[in-house]
């Protein structure tokens, strides 16, 4: 446990669950649509999905013991420069408004996270920061004493795609089965090596009810050639343990929201929900295509969208490196809402990134 004047920083305990869920609920991401990324019914249910080990750090106000800040670190098996490595990922940084900007809260948290690191892990962790969050980018990139060094890698784009677009008929795409899971794992393995930071999934990982909570073999869509899986993706509904909830709108969008919703049936766009409403969505995850063949990717995506419509999801979420060649087609094909982020290497010690320039492929469903 680390102590600083006015705060106590330590690892979260199971009995902290209600306060962690409150902190996530009360501190949405700012923007034209303010969205809180929540963890109901238990903040610890997503831990095994996000990595192993997974640790949540909390900052307590000693005057009452309430949690005023939190952050998480999980460790993935991931490919870096084509080789499997142990890679940390930092996420869920939330601080109650009254405590924001207090350096001692941050330095205490980072000091404790540093103490959890293991010798077999890479000397840097990975994280993403929303591109227009200038406050966080300036603070974390300022090289302040007591904080690790944040070094920008490149852009990452998350697309929120409305499932209201007209489906297109495709052929040659199969649904996943238990017998195909080893072939899916092999496809993910060989394509993950071609990309930076791609998570490594074994067959056991894909079938694990903890590591792949809410995911079943039939949630996978496959392109098969010569009996081998040459492309795959999953439609992963994580609403049983992770939710995106609208908490409000910026002034301009709030003013136009009644008109947008009135015209949505004609424009085939989703309605903008009332504050407090969960956004029904699923992630496109476990995405791998031999040679990045665009025709296979498009066929897999169309098949997944047809299923998303059948399940009555409102949105499908996909994340790709901002230079990925598949992004232009996605933007043309769907009326996407785009969120720009930046990938950072978070260095705990001095030294270069030593990354060889492969295109990143971060799994948005694990962030």
pLDDT in tens, 11-63: 999 999 999 999 999 998 877 788 899 999 999 999 999 999 999 999 998 78
Q: What is the largest CA-CA distance in the chain?
A: 66
* Token reading at 112: 């404790």
Q: Which of 204, 364, 206, 184 is nearest to 285 (CA)?
A: 364
Give a yes or no: residue 263 inside a domain: no
Do the Cβ atoms of 236 and 365 come closer than 8 Å?
yes
| CATH code for the domain of 74 | 3.40.630.30
Tell the burial category of 75 from Cβ atoms under 10 Å away from its Cβ (0-12, 13-18, 19+).
buried
Listed in sequence order, the DSSP H helices in 52-198 are 103-116, 134-140, 181-192
Give a yes or no: residue 143 inside a domain: yes
Q: For tokens 């476990």, what's the residue?
A: 286
Give a yes or no: residue 17 inside a domain: yes
Q: Which pLDDT does position 3 carry in this prediction?
A: 47
Does the pLDDT value for residue 285 go beyond 60?
A: yes
Does the pLDDT value for residue 139 go beyond 80?
A: no
Q: Which pLDDT does position 164 carry in this prediction?
A: 78
Residue range 111-130: mean pLDDT, rounded = 93
Give a yes or no: residue 254 inside a domain: no
Q: Which pLDDT does position 166 carry in this prediction?
A: 78
Q: Which pLDDT does position 229 carry in this prediction?
A: 98
Give a yes or no: residue 364 inside a domain: no
* DSSP tally for the chain: helices H, then strands E: 9, 15
Whole-number Å distance between alpha carbons of 229 and 231: 6
Does the pLDDT value for residue 2 go beyond 60?
A: no
How many CB atoms neighbour CB 276 within 10 A? 10
Residue 140: pLDDT band with limits 50, 70, 90: confident
Residue range 342-354: mean pLDDT, rounded = 86
Residues 24 and 134 in one domain: yes
Residue range 86-100: mean pLDDT, rounded = 90
Give a yes or no: residue 116 inside a domain: yes
Entry field: residues in the chain: 367
Residues 229 and 308 in one domain: yes
- Name the CA radius of gyration of the chain, rounded: 21
Does the pLDDT value for residue 159 go beyond 60?
A: yes
Residue range 169-181: mean pLDDT, rounded = 94
How many structural domains comprise the chain? 2
Residues 181 and 311 in one domain: yes
Q: For the chain, what percent of residues have pLDDT higher than 70?
A: 98
**By residue range, what is the domain housing residue 88?**
2-154+344-352
Residues 147 and 166 in one domain: no
- End-to-end C-alpha distance for the chain, whole angstroms: 26
Residues 166 and 92 in one domain: no
Residues 335 and 348 in one domain: no
Mean confidence (pLDDT) of the chain: 91
Which of 166-175, 226-235, 238-247, 312-321 is the least confident region?
Answer: 166-175
Q: Which pLDDT does position 62 carry in this prediction?
A: 78
Does the pLDDT value for residue 1 go beyond 70?
A: no
Do the Cβ atoms of 87 and 198 come closer than 8 Å?
no
Residues 190 and 226 in one domain: yes
Does the pLDDT value for residue 132 go beyond 80?
A: no
Do the Cβ atoms of 247 and 264 come closer than 8 Å?
no
Q: Which pLDDT does position 367 carry in this prediction?
A: 87
| Region at 51 (left for phi over 0; alpha for psi -120 to 50; beta for the rest) | left
Residue range 172-189: mean pLDDT, rounded = 97
Residues 333 and 348 in one domain: no
Does the pLDDT value for residue 142 go beyond 80?
A: no
Q: Which pLDDT does position 131 carry in this prediction?
A: 79
Residues 78 and 202 in one domain: no
Whole-number Å distance between alpha carbons of 32 and 252: 8
Residue range 178-185: mean pLDDT, rounded = 98
pTM for the whole structure: 0.91
Give a yes or no: residue 148 inside a domain: yes
Strand, coil or helix: what is 20? helix
Residues 35 and 49 in one domain: yes
Residues 139 and 167 in one domain: no
Q: For the chain, what percent of residues have pLDDT higher than 90?
A: 69
Residues 55 and 121 in one domain: yes
Does the pLDDT value for residue 5 go beyond 60?
A: no
Give a yes or no: residue 328 inside a domain: yes
């Amino acid at each position: 446990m680390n102590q600083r004047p006015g705060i106590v920083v330590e690892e979260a305990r199971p009995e902290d669950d209600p306060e962690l869920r409150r902190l996530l609920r009360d501190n949405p991401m700012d923007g034209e649509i303010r969205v809180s990324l929540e963890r109901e019914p238990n903040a610890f249910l997503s831990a095994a999905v996000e990595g192993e080990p997974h640790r949540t750090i909390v900052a307590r106000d000693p005057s009452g013991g309430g949690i005023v800040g939190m952050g998480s670190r999980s460790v993935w098996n991931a490919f870096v420069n084509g080789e499997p490595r142990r890679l940390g990922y930092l996420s869920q940084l939330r601080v109650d408004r009254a405590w924001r900007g207090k350096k001692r809260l941050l330095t205490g948290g980072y000091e404790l996270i540093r103490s959890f690191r293991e010798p077999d892990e890479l000397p840097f962790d990975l994280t993403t920061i929303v591109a227009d969050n200038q406050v966080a980018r300036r603070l974390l990139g300022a090289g302040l004493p007591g904080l690790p060094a944040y070094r920008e890698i490149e852009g990452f784009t998350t697309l929120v795609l409305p499932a209201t677009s007209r489906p297109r008929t495709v052929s040659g795409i199969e649904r996943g089965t238990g017998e195909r899971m080893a072939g899916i794992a092999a496809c993910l393995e060989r394509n993950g090596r071609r990309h930076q930071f791609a998570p490594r999934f074994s067959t056991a990982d894909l079938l694990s009810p903890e590591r792949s909570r809410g995911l079943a073999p039939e949630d996978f869509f496959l392109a098969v050639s010569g009996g081998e899986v040459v492309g795959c993706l999953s439609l992963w509904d994580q609403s049983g343990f992770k939710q995106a909830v609208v908490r409000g709108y910026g002034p301009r969008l709030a003013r136009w929201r009644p008109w947008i919703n009135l015209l949505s049936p004609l424009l085939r766009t989703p309605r903008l929900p009332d504050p407090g409403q969960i956004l029904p969505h699923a992630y496109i995850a476990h995405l791998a295509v031999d040679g990045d063949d665009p025709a296979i990717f498009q066929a897999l995506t169309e098949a997944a969208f047809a299923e998303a419509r059948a399940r009555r999801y409102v949105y499908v979420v996909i994340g790709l490196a901002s230079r990925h060649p598949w992004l232009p087609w996605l933007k043309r094909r769907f009326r996407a809402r785009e969120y720009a982020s930046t990938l950072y290497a978070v260095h705990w010690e001095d030294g270069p990134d030593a990354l060889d320039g492969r295109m990143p492929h971060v799994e948005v469903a694990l962030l």
